[in-house]
Amino acid sequence: MDRHEFTSVVNQPAEIKILECGYRMTWVVTQSNQLFATGYNANGELGLGQVAIQGYNSFQAIPFNLENNETITRVVCGGYHTFVVVSKYILNLQTHHHR
């Protein structure tokens, strides 16, 4: 793949309100507060409960429930972790899993 050309994102979520990139992963929050992630997942970086050596080239829905009309206000990605700020709370959705 020529990295000098833009490529279309497969299964792109609609109405993106937050987009955050980490090391080899991208997270998206929609206007309706749904979470999606794509990228490398060999160490569980996407928080899907399993690892995928080849990663994902399309956005995967991240199971996540909000209560009491809370909203996602921010996503912070690092090397192998992601934090989601929900109203006044910070949740660590996934971290690097050592084998």
Residue type, 5: E
What distance, in Å, lies between the first and last C-alpha atoms of the chain? 30
- Per-chain mean pLDDT for the chain: 79
Confidence band of 64 (pLDDT split at 50, 70, 90): confident
pLDDT greater at residue 94 or residue 73:
73
pTM confidence score: 0.76
CA dihedral 57, 38, 36, 95 (to 10 degrees): 150
pLDDT greater at residue 83 or residue 50:
83
